[in-house]
Structure 1
Amino acid sequence: MNSELLAKIWQYHSGKIIGLVTGFLVGIFILVFGFLHTMFVMICMVAGYLVGKRIDEKEDIMDILGKLLPPGYYRQ
């Protein structure tokens, strides 16, 4: 594969790639401890992709946490 193409893909999709790989690795570690955690692997991959997508869209991590956490856990 062309290194220029890989650099361009990394430039525009680095957050999604990192999130997907991280979610997959966490899922694999969980899978080692039990076969029925396969669904957990899929959830980790989707969650990693969604967080990475938001990072690619330049959304602030603290705003994401503010939406996910219950009131009182995040102070602005």
Structure 2
Amino acid sequence: MDRFYDILEKHFGKIVGMILGLLFAVLVIAVGFWKTVFVLFCILLGYFFGKIIDNHEDLRSFLDRILPPGKM
């Protein structure tokens, strides 16, 4: 079991990348490319809003950072 954890620790990024690649391929086959891209976009959007909530950041200050000056 220690050997498993050693391999996992040494190659963690590769393993996660392979799993994500497999998940992407399965989604493309199951629902199509553009629907998969839309799902990934929604996941990323949810991640960024969750990050704002976790950091106790104000939505207005976040929008001020990503939008051109004077919009918010």
Q: TM-score, normalised by structure 2?
A: 0.47
Higher alpha-carbon Rg: 2
Q: Which has the higher contact order (CA 8 A, sep 6+)?
A: 1
